[in-house]
Chains A and B, each alone.
Chain A
Amino acid sequence: MTLFLWVVYPYICLTIFVVGHIWRYRYDKFGWTTRSSQLYENRLLRLGSPLFHFGILAVFLGHVMGLGVPKSWTEAVGISEGLYHFFAVTVGAIAGICTLVGMSILIYRRRTTGPVFSATTSMDKVMYALLALVIVLGLANTVVANLVGSYDYREGVSIWFRGIFRFQTYPELMAAAPWTFQAHGLAAITLFALWPFTRLVHVFSAPLGYLTRPYIVYRSAKPSTAGNRPARRGW
């Protein structure tokens, strides 16, 4: 069971994540969009959407720090355990609460604003439920690991997580983690599997190229420069 949950299942889900995105991009470029509902309603969105999005961007960076950077590295540059955890708890809690509040506003808006609710697909609903679960569990972890208990995830979850990408598996580390961490991990992995089939794909079209491209785009019909796809049938 441990092997399945913390080795087999993550690899299955991550494979779906990668292959799913490639498939979706090839099959469904037209459906690849944010599916914004700002046109319908703006008052709640103006509050909720930036809260949620900036919050979750901060949460993402926090995960890069916590999961991606080994403990030995931060200690090598002189960040003590206490200092690290102080930052992790304060910044993490602020970002997490922003995300949670933003998400609550957005879900409330989605349910109560008529046009927005009718534009919600069933896939959206599944995704929102799972995303909310992941966020709530994640916020709980911040509290559990740092305030209530004293689980050092950088000695456990982080090593397991990095191991996945190096094909060195440490299922026993996850099995020993508190149950909130286990649940958060499982929910997140499941979300990754669902990711390519939801509107979450818009994360991967974050328009950073806008910062460097010229303002006006010209496109020629000449095959060499005619956009990024092969010419369609000539008839």
Chain B
Amino acid sequence: MKVMAQMAMVMNLDKCIGCHTCSVTCKQAWTNRAGTEYVWFNNVETRPGQGYPRTYEDQERWRGGWALNSRGRLTLKGGGRLKKLATIFSNPIMPSIDDYYQPWTYDYSTLTDAPAQQHLPVARPKSLLTGKDMKITWSANWDDDLGGSAVTFANDPILKKVSTQVKQEFESTFMFYLPRICEHCLNPSCAASCPSGAIYKRSEDGIVLVDQDRCRGWRMCISGCPYKKVYFNHRTGKAEKCTFCFPRIEVGMPTVCAETCVGRLRYIGLILYDADRVLEAASTPNDQDLYEAQRSLLLDPNDPEVIRAAEREGIPNDWITAAQRSPIHALINTFKVALPLHPEYRTMPMVWYIPPLSPVVDVVAETGEDAENHRNLFAAIDALRIPIEYLAELFTAGSVPVVDGVLRKLAAMRSYMRDINLGRDPDGGIPAAVGMSEEDMYDMYRLLALAKYDERYVIPPAHAEQAHGLEELATECALDFDGGPGMGGSGPFGEGSGQQSVPVAVENFAVLQERQQADSLGGVAGGNAVTLVSWDGKGSPKGMFRRRRGGSDSPGGESR
């Protein structure tokens, strides 16, 4: 047994209202640069729908992830090492920009620069790739909220798998949102596909990153990832992906998407897993057994033997404690309500989902029956094959009983807690009907419904002695956009060449946090250095402006 720690996330889909705040804040933080216009480390898809990029889940076409060969051995679905090298000059299974969308902007200046004329000036869409006029035909969320679904829903790869009768009536039946980030897999096929070995998994916390200095732009990771969560920066010619906001995680703060989530539906925590058994679990013959196989990889952090093994591997004590308090461990292994997204891709994904009960509740409520009564809900779960089959294709490779069991637990929780909230005697039979104790049910309610900040996010800070080494990818100066006042721009060898990128210093985030929680708008006590990376626009921190000779200090700061 080789114990390793993994930072993981669970999303409670019942709470997602599809507001895209996570996508927008993530984009602001990480991909608001030239070359990454179409890159959404975090995106929110409407289900049923095609996803982003379109139909990415159709692995017979895109051939991402792993598959078992005829001898039962785990191989890359897109072809092994020799095939990768043979197709390196033209990757036959790489999505083109049209499978994402052509990024564009508008020539806003015509709105203000136009001379007096009879008609209102119009800002026309301009392609960000060519600078020419373009016709907008698709974007990252073109089919949001089932928009245009009459035309596009037939392309949903998951809908193709469930029975055909669904297709006529699905629109009135159900809809939900699926926020997606990189899965930070235990068995990442993007890393396995990278010819340069630039994609690596951090052995401390399992975050999967691209080493920008070693990436040579061979593009194999993009087709290797079945979730299509590695993107090609078309200006720098390098792969980029979700970083799990590691500079924030290292100082104990949740990711940007989680922090800004309006529905508070994201959970972040550590899990301990047995690295020696990953390959064995990923080679499980039957697709539908992969959920259980992956769950069995996760170790019980309260087991004394696991703790001893973890200590032997040098996992610090506060990390073991954090693993014991982890909401992820509770949701996956204690309550067993979280499920992995597409376990059949065999990458052992580590962003899990609690399937939504709300489509079922909605249907019951529409019939006029009591939608909080567990008997009605249980009956509806049994009767409503449509959403459940669909959810099973997403989360359990089509195994309906597993999804069924999870939804029953969520339904039971609703009924059981209603009695308590209305001051009635709690019915111990309800938790028992789904195999849970009353205490467990209450604990689950507390974690899912109350969802306190420090219970949702149990993130032990990286140890200071490790921090400098963990630092890897970096953002750029905020002023360093095209034609901006920053020092950057295109070097002689193309975008961003030759520059030492500004590292996201761990300290910056600590300073930012301090400033956000400070009482005054002035600078934070101690330290005169100001970095614009961490400046949030509030006031003008001390040291931002040079002190005038003989005069007073900067407007906001106190004079020194």
- A interface vs B, CB < 8 Å? 24, 27-42, 45-46, 49-50, 52-54, 114-115, 117-119, 121, 123, 197-199, 202, 205, 207, 209-211, 213, 215-223, 226-229, 231-235
Minimal Cβ-Cβ distance residue in B for A50: B89
Partner-binding segment picked from B12-20, B323-331, B379-387, B486-494: B486-494
Interfacial chain B residues near A123, Cβ < 8 Å: 492-493
Minimal Cβ-Cβ distance residue in A for B470: A221
Cα distance A229–B130 when bound, in Å? 37
* A234 contacts B96, C-beta separation under 8 Å: no
- The answer, among A33, A40, A202, A217, for a CB contact under 8 Å with B199, is A217
* A34 contacts B218, C-beta separation under 8 Å: yes
Chain B residues 238 to 260 lying within 8 A of chain A, measured CB to CB, are 238
Chain B residues 444 to 492 lying within 8 A of chain A, measured CB to CB, are 462, 466-471, 490-492
A214 to chain B, nearest CB (A): 9
A45 to chain B, nearest CB (A): 5
* B496 contacts A30, C-beta separation under 8 Å: yes
- The answer, among B187, B219, B469, B506, for a CB contact under 8 Å with A36, is B219
Interfacial chain A residues near B203, Cβ < 8 Å: 218-221
The 8 closest A-B pairs by CB, nearest first: A31-B497, A207-B195, A221-B469, A114-B130, A215-B192, A115-B129, A35-B237, A29-B213
* B497 contacts A28, C-beta separation under 8 Å: yes
* B94 contacts A121, C-beta separation under 8 Å: no
What total of chain B residues lie within 8 Å of the partner, measured CB to CB? Answer: 67
A64 to chain B, nearest CB (A): 20
Given contacts A34-B218, A35-B217, A234-B467, whether A45 and B90 have CB atoms under 8 Å apart is yes
* A30 contacts B213, C-beta separation under 8 Å: yes
A14 to chain B, nearest CB (A): 21
B203 to chain A, nearest CB (A): 4
- The answer, among B197, B202, B204, B494, for a CB contact under 8 Å with A31, is B494
Cα distance A60–B201 when bound, in Å? 37
Interfacial chain A residues near B238, Cβ < 8 Å: 30, 33
Known: A42-B90, A207-B195. 13 other contacts (CB 8 A): A27-B498, A31-B236, A31-B497, A35-B217, A40-B96, A119-B235, A197-B493, A216-B191, A221-B202, A221-B470, A222-B466, A228-B214, A234-B467
Given contacts A211-B81, A216-B187, A217-B191, whether A121 and B217 have CB atoms under 8 Å apart is no
A124 to chain B, nearest CB (A): 9
* B132 contacts A114, C-beta separation under 8 Å: yes
* A30 contacts B236, C-beta separation under 8 Å: yes
* A210 contacts B84, C-beta separation under 8 Å: yes
Interfacial chain A residues near B202, Cβ < 8 Å: 218-221
- The answer, among B192, B196, B468, B497, for a CB contact under 8 Å with A234, is B468
Given contacts A42-B96, A115-B97, A220-B203, whether A210 and B85 have CB atoms under 8 Å apart is yes
A-B Cβ contacts below 8 A, count: 178
Interfacial chain A residues near B147, Cβ < 8 Å: none
B82-98 Cβ-contact flags toward A at 8 Å (1 or 0): 10110011111010110
- The answer, among A37, A114, A199, A222, for a CB contact under 8 Å with B493, is A199
A226 to chain B, nearest CB (A): 4
B437 adjacent to chain A (CB < 8 Å): no
**Can you list 6 A-B pairs with a CB-CB distance of less than 8 A?**
A31-B493, A32-B216, A33-B494, A198-B493, A221-B202, A227-B214
Interfacial chain B residues near A205, Cβ < 8 Å: 196, 216
Interfacial chain A residues near B505, Cβ < 8 Å: 235
B212-225 Cβ-contact flags toward A at 8 Å (1 or 0): 11111111000000
Interfacial chain B residues near A227, Cβ < 8 Å: 211, 214
Among A33, A49, A213, A218, residue most surrounded by chain B Cβ atoms (within 10 Å): A33
B434 to chain A, nearest CB (A): 37
Chain B residues 166 to 224 lying within 8 A of chain A, measured CB to CB, are 187-188, 191-192, 194-197, 199-204, 211-219
Given contacts A32-B216, A38-B94, A210-B195, whether A235 and B507 have CB atoms under 8 Å apart is yes
B302 adjacent to chain A (CB < 8 Å): no
* A30 contacts B497, C-beta separation under 8 Å: yes
Interfacial chain A residues near B498, Cβ < 8 Å: 27-28, 30-31
Given contacts A29-B213, A35-B217, A207-B218, whether A231 and B90 have CB atoms under 8 Å apart is no
Interfacial chain A residues near B97, Cβ < 8 Å: 39-40, 115
Interfacial chain A residues near B201, Cβ < 8 Å: 216-219
Cα distance A219–B235 when bound, in Å? 27
* A38 contacts B91, C-beta separation under 8 Å: yes
A86 to chain B, nearest CB (A): 29
* B503 contacts A232, C-beta separation under 8 Å: yes
Given contacts A39-B234, A217-B200, A219-B200, whether A231 and B468 have CB atoms under 8 Å apart is yes
